[in-house]
Amino acid sequence: YAILSKCHQIIPEPVDVLKVLDFKSSPEGVRKTTGFCTARRGSKPDVAYRVGKQAQISAPTKQLFPGGVFPEDFSILFTIKPKAGLQSFLLSVYNKQGIQQLGVEVGRAPVFLYEDQHGKPAPEEYPLFRSINLADGKWHRVAISVEKKSVTIIVDCKKKVTRPLSRSNRAVINTEGITVFGTRILDEEVFEVLLKIFCDGKEQSGGKKEMESEVKKGRADKQADGSNSSTAL
């Protein structure tokens, strides 16, 4: 599937996952191709990256968060074009014991895997988005926002679904381990994927701003009920 993954913090600067994982150097199993915006007046086509099954892409999580702190509340923004019917992990964060703490599984029913320092929530409580199909062979802009004890997914700036996230108060994701792209440590197969970086120009920037404004709108609704503001990842 095709994907752009952009994980960012409001403070201090965005974290570009593809940049940290050094996709521009075209590591083994990765090649450039055309992305979401194939033609735009006055500029070049979008750049995407196709990741083959032989690719092994990972980095120490501290390279994404040099300060060593993973934000408690955060958002993940990406543009994705999965092959029809696929169900696989886009991104996984492990602690130094090899326990998966966070994972974004995309497909016909996306799953948000999250396990804090106390082992919460239990696997049977991982948020599942049955009404959303990202594996239909089409491009999708996706925002996943985690705040307090809920997670919201926004697709194409239109469809919005919120699920409970039964994590601990002051939940912590440890940054001492590694972040893996496109598979999990124990998976036997790496699904073929296509990666895309945000388009330069008004069209893509507008889409990104729309997603961010939807995330902020959801937070504002919660703040009206007495919730605090959150940090985006």
Q: What is the CATH number of the domain that holds 166?
A: 2.60.120.200
In a domain, 233, yes or no: no
On whether residue 196 sits in a domain, the answer given is: yes
Provide the pLDDT for residue 183. Answer: 66
User: 209: pLDDT confidence band, cut at 50, 70 and 90?
Assistant: low
The single-letter DSSP state of residue 129 is: -
Give the tens place of pLDDT for each residue, 156-201. 989 999 999 999 999 999 999 999 887 655 554 444 444 443 322 2
- 212 pLDDT more than 70: no
Asked whether residue 230 is assigned to any structural domain, the reply reads no
Arithmetic mean of pLDDT, 22-26: 80
Q: What pLDDT does 79 receive?
A: 80
Total domains in the chain come to 1
Global confidence as pTM: 0.75
- Is 232 part of any domain? no
| Per-residue pLDDT at 123 | 96
Whether 210 has a pLDDT exceeding 90, the answer reads no
For residue 155, what pLDDT band results from cuts at 50, 70 and 90? very high
Instruction: For residues 204-213, give the mean pLDDT.
Output: 47
Alpha helices in the chain (DSSP H): 17-20, 61-64, 202-223
- Enclosing domain of residue 145: 2-223
Is position 41 within any domain?
yes
CA distance 4 to 34: 12
Secondary structure class of 73 (helix, strand, coil):
coil
Mean pLDDT of the chain: 75
Span 83-89, mean pLDDT?
81
- pLDDT for residue 14: 72
26-51 pLDDT per residue, tens: 777 777 777 666 666 666 767 777 77
Q: In this predicted model, which residue has the larger pLDDT, 232 or 88? A: 88
Tell me, yes or no, whether 62 lies in a domain. Answer: yes
The residue with greater pLDDT, 148 or 212, is 148
In terms of Cα–Cα distance, which of 223, 222, 215 is closest to 10? 215
Instruction: Please report the pLDDT score of residue 36 as a whole number.
Output: 67
Give the pLDDT confidence of 115-134 residue by residue, as tens digits.
Answer: 999 999 999 999 999 999 99
Q: Average pLDDT of 64-70?
A: 87
The answer, yes or no, to whether residue 70 has pLDDT greater than 80, is yes
Tokens 């974004």, located at residue: 104
pLDDT of residue 200: 27
The pLDDT-based confidence of 6 (bands split at 50, 70, 90) is: low
- What residues contact 225, with CB distance under 8 A and at least 6 apart? none
Residue 231 inside a domain? The answer is no
In a domain, 228, yes or no: no
- C-beta separation of 143 from 75 below 8 A: yes
- How many other CB atoms sit within 10 Å of the CB of residue 187? 13
